[in-house]
Amino acid sequence: MSASSPRSKIFETPENLLAAAMLSLMTLLPVLEMASRHLRFIPSIPGSPVYVQHLTLCIGMFGGALAARFSRLLAVSASTLLPKGWRRPAAILAAAMLAAVSAALAYASWQFLVSEREASSMLAPGIPKWYALLVMPVGFGWIALRAVWHADPKWYGKLVAAAGLLAPVVLYLTDPSTPGLFPLGVALLFLATLAGLPVFAVFGGFALFLFWHTQTPVASAPVEMYRLVASPLLPSIPLFTFAGYLMVEGGATRRLLRMFEALFGWAPGGLAIVTVVICAIFTWGGSGLTILSLGGLLVPVLIRAHYPERFSIGLLTASGSLGLLFPPSLPVILYGVYAQTPIDSLFLGGILPGLLMVTLVGIFGVRQGIHSGAERARVSAKEAGQALWEAKWELLLPAIMLVGLFGGFGTLTEAAALTAFAALVVEAGLYRQLSIRRDYVRVCVECAAVVGGILLIIGSALAFTNYLVDAEIPSRLVDWVRLHIHSRILFLLALNAALLVVGSLMDIFAAILVIVPLLKPLIGVYGIDPVQMGIIFLANLELGYLMPPVGINLCLSAYRFEKPMVMVYRALLPFIAVLLSGVLIITYVPWITTVLPRAFGK
């Protein structure tokens, strides 16, 4: 986080405390609900699941505002390829369009709120729904103002960006059928995307503009965003992410690294295996947390052990998404919700494919370790025993999560809340390396900023997808594929290629919401098991993180290690080849995915 001036802290301190309060309530309410079913002396809280779902909406909006405060709204930008003299105007253009889209979404959200207020919709007895909806116009408006404030260091740059705040007036006064307006709007959004417009604003902007152009009420966009709240599984995304942040901030990575080094560091390439395994463990919500938090710890250790720098960066970058198929992967949860595929079946189906990908990268790491004469740790049963004992409580956390998830003790959200609560007890109460007074609010703010950015992308992508469905684009695509592709093998090959392109250009959460509606009708046409389709989809996007031109892992790695993108490309080429072989095995050997779900009757 950047340092703040005393004046800015007047606004930031309440914002930080609000984020901490929201995450704390989200964690506590499901745990109490679970406990009330098994312990009679603990009363149930009426409407608790509804409150938790709407707290997710609040985290999405205020977390998005926090991400805007730290300039961490995820964007796919080509501005780094521009000459230096063009980069500042590109940044101002992106900020102006972010302000325009956010202001327009605030206006559309206000219209949605007014309609719900007039309908007298209730959230719970005595609580009107519009109380909860108020967070949407406030949140989008706050993001719009921050976009202007961060547009440029100079006042005239901010003034140019402030023109975007007039977008609601333009929507209200302009005739959508005005000649030339549609291509102009599309061109502006496309240019702003290349200039660095955040992903959520890209999807939200196109959704709003297309709804408006077809004279559909612009409130349709926030209605679709709000529809996500109806999913009882969505709160698991911020809760599992919160658990991961608590573990990382509490020093779990250091203790687990020591344990895995003691267990595997003696083997040829043992440190490479350790890197792969520990990255897979911490890839809960995507690659960002793994690369940014573990990069500074693991890459120097690899280099000191005589692994080449390029290989070390490539290994950490490639390993940053290896855990996406394992519980409690957030992309798996979102895919299951949106594709209406049982999440427990997807988790079971992803175990063997996930292990395959980890094994392939691990073998390549062993080969490099032998080739470069990397150092090995001395075999020590005493060190292994001490490391296992030190990490015993963190080793218990996955068991708590799996028992809660598959043991029938609670819902997915309750299992996620129990995991986050247990992580807090372990890191702050048992290890005492996470201070409630010093660290807790900061960790909540970091987590809320990441989760807010993700939820904004999910919501805006859902709004854009709804327009595609209304325009019957999925049905037209199905008709075209049926007409031109008759072979199942050829279809899967084309699917691999298309998903790799999507993964190289789009965040995985947005890709799920935009692409799954297009794929879902094709599952039956080619006789593909729904669980296998889900794992194929996610495995391809996992590899897409590494693909040029702007795979997310590439951008994060170049930022974290301060290396040119070209150097990271070159470091990743052998890992891309290794992982591509794994993706092809997953695609064309179905039993790897289906054997465990069938064995457990899923």
pLDDT digits (tens, 9 = 90+) for 527-560: 889 999 999 999 998 888 888 766 777 766 776 6
For helices 440-470 and 199-213, the axis angle rounded to 10 degrees is 30
* 441 — pLDDT class (breaks 50, 70, 90): very high
The first and second tokens of residue 168, run together, are 């609601």
Grouping H, G, I as helix, E, B as strand and the rest as coil, residue 198 is strand
Question: Where does the pLDDT of residue 519 fall: very low under 50, low under 70, confident under 90, or very high at 90 and above?
Answer: confident
Reply yes or no on whether the pLDDT at 10 is more than 90.
no
Residue 161 pLDDT grade (very low, low, confident, very high; cuts 50, 70, 90): very high
**Could you tell me where the beta strands, DSSP code E, fall in 302-390?**
none
pLDDT digits (tens, 9 = 90+) for 38-50: 777 777 788 888 8
Residue 75, helix vs strand vs coil = strand
CA angle at 212 for the pair 206 and 215, rounded to the nearest 5° = 145
What average pLDDT is seen over the chain? 84
pLDDT at site 109: 94
Q: How far apart are CA 301 and CA 310, in angstroms?
A: 13
> Crossing angle of helices 508-525/330-339, nearest 10°?
40
Mean of the pLDDT values across residues 352-373? 90
Percent of the chain with pLDDT over 90: 26
Contact 23, 443 (CB under 8 A): no
198 - beta bridge partners? Answer: 75
Q: Are 569 and 554 within 8 A, CB to CB?
A: yes
Q: What is the pLDDT of residue 404?
A: 67
pLDDT tens digits for 388-428? Answer: 899 889 888 877 777 766 666 778 888 889 989 999 999 99
Residue 374 and residue 371: Cα distance in Å, rounded? 8
Confidence at residue 18, expressed as pLDDT on a 0 to 100 scale: 92
Q: Which residues of 381-414 are buried (b: 16+ CB within 10 A; e: fewer)?
A: eebbeebeebbebbeebeebbeebbeeeebbbbb
Q: Is the pLDDT of residue 474 over 70?
A: yes
Q: What is the sign of the dihedral through the CA atoms of 590, 591, 595 and 601?
A: positive
The pLDDT assigned to 289 comes to 60
Preceding omega of 232 cis (within 30 degrees of 0): no
Query: Do the beta carbons of residue 116 and residue 129 sit within 8 Å?
Result: yes
**Most confident segment among 80-84, 297-301, 303-307:** 303-307
CA distances, 323 to each of 30, 277, 584 (Å): 26, 9, 18
Backbone angles phi, psi at 559, to 5 degrees: -70, -45
pLDDT of residue 160: 92
CB atoms under 10 Å from CB of 487, counted, come to: 10
Average pLDDT for residues 147-154, to the nearest whole number?
90
Residue 288 has pLDDT above 70, yes or no: no
Name the CA dihedral angle for 513, 514, 517, 523, rounded to a multiple of 10 degrees: -100
- Per-residue pLDDT of 89-129, as tens digits, reads 888 999 999 999 999 999 999 999 999 898 888 887 778 88
- Round to whole Å and give the CA distance between 495 and 507: 17
- SS3 sequence of 118-140: HCCCEEECCEEHHHHHCHHHHHH
At 2 the pLDDT is 43
Q: How confident is the model at residue 159 (pLDDT cuts 50, 70, 90)?
A: very high
Spatial distance between the Cα atoms of 467 and 297, rounded to a whole number of angstroms? 44
What does the pLDDT read at residue 527?
81
Task: Classify 249 as helix, strand or coil.
Answer: helix
Confidence of residue 88 (pLDDT cuts 50, 70, 90): confident
Query: Which DSSP category does 151 fall into?
Result: S
- CA atoms of 221 and 227, how far apart (whole Å): 10
- How many angstroms separate the CA atoms of 529 and 524, rounded? 8
Give which of 447, 468, 555 is closest to 505, Cα–Cα.
Answer: 555
The residue with tokens 């790897």 is 592
Q: Angle at which helices 440-470 and 473-484 pack, to 10 degrees?
A: 70
Quick one: tokens of 38?
Answer: 């098994």
- Lowest mean pLDDT, pick from 70-84, 352-366, 433-447: 70-84
Most confident among 16-25, 76-85, 170-179 (mean pLDDT): 16-25
Domain regions of the chain by residue span: 46-230, 236-599
Name which residue leads in pLDDT, 77 or 581. Answer: 581
Virtual torsion, Cα 284, 286, 287, 293, nearest 10 deg: -50
Residues of the chain with pLDDT > 70, as a percent, come to 92
Distance CA 165, CA 155 (A): 16
Structure-block tokens of residue 200: 């959520």
Distance set, CA 231 to CA 333, 368, 424 (Å): 11, 45, 26
Report strand pairing: 127-128 vs 122-124.
antiparallel
Q: Are 414 and 33 in contact (CB under 8 A)?
A: yes
Cβ neighbours of residue 260 under 8 Å, at least 6 residues apart? 273, 274, 277, 278
Give CA angle at 286 (503, 339), nearest 5°. 65
As a whole number of angstroms, the distance between CA 253 and CA 284 comes to 14
| Bond before 328 cis per omega within 30 degrees | yes
Of residues 491 and 237, more confidently modeled? 491
Provide the β-strand partners of residue 75: 198
Contact 549, 501 (CB under 8 A): no
Average pLDDT over residues 275-299: 72
